[in-house]
Amino acid sequence: MSEVAERPKVEKKEAALPVLPPSQNRFSITEAGYAYAEIDVTQPVGHSIEDALRPEYWVHHSHKLKARAFTGEADRTGAIIRLRTDDHAYFATLYVRAVGEHGLVMQLLTEPVYLGPKSVETTGFDVRWNVGNRGFDVIRKSDRSIVADSKMIKTREQASIWINETMKAA
């Protein structure tokens, strides 16, 4: 009798949901608010408003809104968060309903304002946000070459115009 060893089954893991990175330039508290804090948050490209509504999204920043025992001050429930993205795709206002140990309970105050087109649809080009240049690169799909530099193209609309003008000339 020979027994055949079976391979252990490998379960596919779901991709982890994004969280706001811990850097200081992503979460900036304005102390000018008297009773409640006002916070400016800049999300990385690819993060969404739905991500921001998940409590665990704020795991790296929730401690900044916790009560401070040594001062007797309460937590910063009631703070207003102004939410933006690096590529200026949208703007939204959130209300902090509760401050947890490792997250924040949020409420979307108004419908988000989407700025510019959500995407640029073309057959021959891709448009990609360039973090270093804080603009959009236009990439030719056939050879993955950057054909329009992000130093000159700062919005999706400008990328779309560049692509349309290039396609007319071709």
- Which region holds residue 163: left if phi is over 0, alpha if psi is between -120 and 50, else beta? alpha
Per-residue model confidence (pLDDT) at position 164: 84
Mean pLDDT for the chain overall: 86
Contact predicate 27/59, CB 8 Å: no
Q: State the pLDDT confidence band at 15, using cuts at 50, 70 and 90.
A: confident
Segment holding 42, helix H or strand E: strand 38-43
Per-residue model confidence (pLDDT) at position 9: 65
- Tell me the β-bridge partners of 42: 84
Examine the pLDDT at 1 and tell me if it is beyond 60.
no
Q: What is the DSSP string of 116-164?
A: S-S----SSEEEEEETTTTEEEEEETTTTEEEE-TTT--SHHHHHHHHH
Per-residue model confidence (pLDDT) at position 2: 53
Contact predicate 104/91, CB 8 Å: no
Q: Which residues contact 37 (CB under 8 A, 6 or more apart)?
A: 29, 30, 31, 65, 76, 79, 80
pTM of the model: 0.72
For 8, the token pair is 């252990």
Q: What is the mean pLDDT of residues 36-55?
A: 93
| Distance between CA atoms of residues 157 and 106, nearest Å | 31
Examine the pLDDT at 33 and tell me if it is beyond 70.
no
Q: Count of CB atoms within 10 A of residue 124's CB? A: 14
pLDDT tens digits, 85-113: 998 889 999 999 999 999 999 999 989 99
Contact predicate 131/151, CB 8 Å: no
- Percent of the chain surpassing pLDDT 90: 43
